[in-house]
Amino acid sequence: MPRDHVQPAERSATGAGAPPSSAETPFLELLARGASADAYEQPVLLARAEGRPAERIRALEQAKLLALRVRSELEGRRRREAELSALFETAHDLAGLRDLDAVLQAIVQRARSLLGTDVAYLSLNDPVRGDTYMRVTEGSVAARFQQLRLGMGEGLGGLVAQTARPYVTDDYFKDDRFQHTLAIDAGVRDEGLVAILGVPLMLGHHVIGVLFAADRRARVFEREQIALLGSFAALAAAAIDTANLLTETRSALADLERANEIIRDRSGVIERASDVHDRLAELVLRGGGVHDVAAAVSEVLDGTVEFAEAAAAPAKALEASRAEGHAVRHDHDWIAAVAAGGELLGALVLRGHPGLDPVDQRTLERAAMVTSLLLLARRSAAEAEQRVRGELLDDLLDARDRDPRLLRERASRLDADLDATHVVLAARLDAAAADADQEAAARRRLWSAASHLAATRHGLAAARDGGTVLLLPLDPGDTATALARRTARHLGTAVHEAVTVGASAPIDDLAAHPDTVAAAYEEGRRCLDTLRLLGRSGDGAAAEDFGFVGLLLAGDRDIAGFVRRTIGPVVAYDERRGTDLVRTLDAYFACGMSPARTKDDLHVHVNTVAQRLERVGRLLGDDWQSPARALEIQMALRLHRLAG
């Protein structure tokens, strides 16, 4: 600093008779004008050069240190003010979806906060180069890590992008499930990451990127955390695509602005288009549904817009709209296909509006695209819930040592009551598929339909053994047979193919006795096999409907179960009371159902035989001597005798 810049202040501060506090004056002037840190050495150096007393120099040194601390505090406060300002700007950008980078940054920040991790980052796929690259990071400190590009299948992120499945590792460098490369490992090592979770960002069946959460220490990510990040990734993908759509829209508006004559003629139309895009963006952010989108577009286009299922829309116009990628006219209406990839999800129909200018037509098309994103997001959330329901049923079927309290808590979160009476149903498609791909697609449709039915009935469903298993509550007054037949009709209608359903007998207290679920599932499968052997494909029945016929036809014959269902009450009565009802039944049938001959065989009075048979009737039902029941009872008696 030039000498004359500080000399007047120094002279004032070091004049004869000046108080000790005058040493602070030059530094206050430096603070006032925001001087650099180096400038604070000049007053001390000048005092030493002029031979000032040591006491004066010490006072200047102390004032310098105090001034530097004040300067550091002021700079820290300015930095905090700038950080708060940046946070408010990011929130504003996300609310308006004005900038894609701001949206992505907000997504990563939310993911990091959501899981409480050290680092969160997002990569997007590059279809031109065939790899995936780092787009946004939060909490990252390593430049090499922030510039990584991963080939499909390389590293954990490349594996997620290639397989479209979430992956998690507790210790990245000890995990050999994915391909390690020098470049990727070096970047991860620079960042110090240990535990990494990656979930795909999906649009339809296509992966557009990967959302990550990572810690610099070993950590186990729970299933719920993986599902939660997966659901957030589904919403993030919808937000990314919406932001891209809005970017394209603004680019189109910029082109229109360059055409002054068109802008003057169509200014009102353009304003309406901008309004609908902003409304659609707001709907996506606050979780609106397809009918909310239709209502918003109806108001902007001054007409009636409705969402129609694919089966309810005009087939020819709907197919033309999907093929051309534009809304098409149908009589006095306009049809805009709502599609994702090759799948038709429905249509937006503008009623009674035959004259539609190009901008309004484009608005309808954009609304159809936003509708498809909302449907895909809703489907992603539903699939996540279906997976959770399937995992709980798998645990009931396989892990029989689970804590009943935890099972009840998990079921309660899914609105299921394991203390209610349930029936286990085994369902399978009967039509033979042309190839493996078609068979897999048919099984997925069956699982999806069964999962939807289970969710609406407060039950559970899972894919198993080439078919689907359901655990549904049994209403009072209902029967397992009636439930099986309704389920077969419902699933067959949903997948447009014949579905056969076998049901177990009703079971209770599943949480305390989960082994009963596995046994009931085997019983339902045997019933299913019996139906198919009898040529009753597409029907539903319970094990109790077949008696010994089911026992003969089933592949894994449950002899003890048949005996228990048929004469179990009589056997139990004899065991409790020490009576001879079973032996009396044996003798009764051996004597041609003649009480007189039976009393001689048993060496008892005929009244005793009558009393015993009356007791049997009360235990087995009034129809126990009908030909069909009598045949089953004789079969069960013989099996019981052989087993005893």
Rounded Cα distance, 278 and 97, in Å: 9
Write phi, then psi, for 132 (nearest 5 degrees): -130, 140
* Residue 157 is assigned to a structural domain of this protein: yes
Top-confidence range, 173-182, 242-251, 334-343: 173-182
Model confidence at 86: pLDDT above 50: no
Do 564 and 513 fall into the same domain? no
Do 409 and 451 fall into the same domain? yes
Do 429 and 525 fall into the same domain? yes
The set of residues, in sequence order, having a beta carbon less than 8 Å from that of 197 and lying 6+ positions away, is 115, 166, 167, 168, 212, 213, 214, 221, 225, 226, 229
The residue-averaged pLDDT of 218-236 equals: 80
The residue-averaged pLDDT of 52-74 equals: 85
* Residue 89 is assigned to a structural domain of this protein: no
Q: Which residue range(s) make up the domain with 213?
A: 97-249
The residue-averaged pLDDT of 545-574 equals: 71
Rounded Cα distance, 380 and 484, in Å: 29
Model confidence at 64: pLDDT above 70: yes
Do 415 and 536 fall into the same domain? yes
- Tell me whether strands 333-340 and 343-351 are parallel, antiparallel or unpaired: antiparallel
* First-to-last C-alpha distance (Å) of the chain: 111
How many other C-beta atoms are found inside a 10 Å radius of the C-beta of residue 429?
23
pLDDT level of residue 382 (50, 70, 90 thresholds): low
The set of residues, in sequence order, having a beta carbon less than 8 Å from that of 187 and lying 6+ positions away, is 142, 144, 145, 147, 148
Percent of the chain with pLDDT over 70: 81
Do 234 and 103 fall into the same domain? yes
Do 377 and 413 fall into the same domain? no
* Residue 226 is assigned to a structural domain of this protein: yes
The residue-averaged pLDDT of 563-579 equals: 88
* Residue 82 is assigned to a structural domain of this protein: no
* Residue 260 is assigned to a structural domain of this protein: no
Do 221 and 124 fall into the same domain? yes
Sheet holding 119-126, edge to edge: 149-151, 131-138, 119-126, 206-215, 195-203, 167-169
Do 563 and 531 fall into the same domain? no
Q: What is the mean pLDDT of the chain?
A: 78
* Residue 338 is assigned to a structural domain of this protein: yes
Q: How many domains does the chain have?
A: 5
326-343 residue pLDDT tens: 888 877 788 888 777 666
Do 590 and 496 fall into the same domain? no
The residue-averaged pLDDT of 530-546 equals: 79
Do 574 and 626 fall into the same domain? yes
Model confidence at 562: pLDDT above 80: no
The residue-averaged pLDDT of 608-617 equals: 90
Model confidence at 483: pLDDT above 90: yes
Q: Residue 6: its pLDDT value, please?
A: 41
Q: Residue 369: its pLDDT value, please?
A: 77
Q: Residue 409: its pLDDT value, please?
A: 77
Q: Residue 557: its pLDDT value, please?
A: 56
* Residue 10 is assigned to a structural domain of this protein: no
Q: Which of 249, 268, 300 is the last residue of a domain?
A: 249
Do 426 and 534 fall into the same domain? yes
Model confidence at 271: pLDDT above 90: no
Q: Which of 547, 568, 600 is the last residue of a domain?
A: 547
Q: Residue 83: its pLDDT value, please?
A: 40
Do 302 and 429 fall into the same domain? no
* Residue 567 is assigned to a structural domain of this protein: yes
Q: Residue 263: its pLDDT value, please?
A: 53
Angle at 360 between CA 268 and CA 257, to 5 degrees: 50
Q: Output the domain CATH number for residue 523.
A: 3.30.70.270
Contact criterion met (CB below 8 Å) for 158 and 119? no
Residue identified by tokens 């990314």 is 240
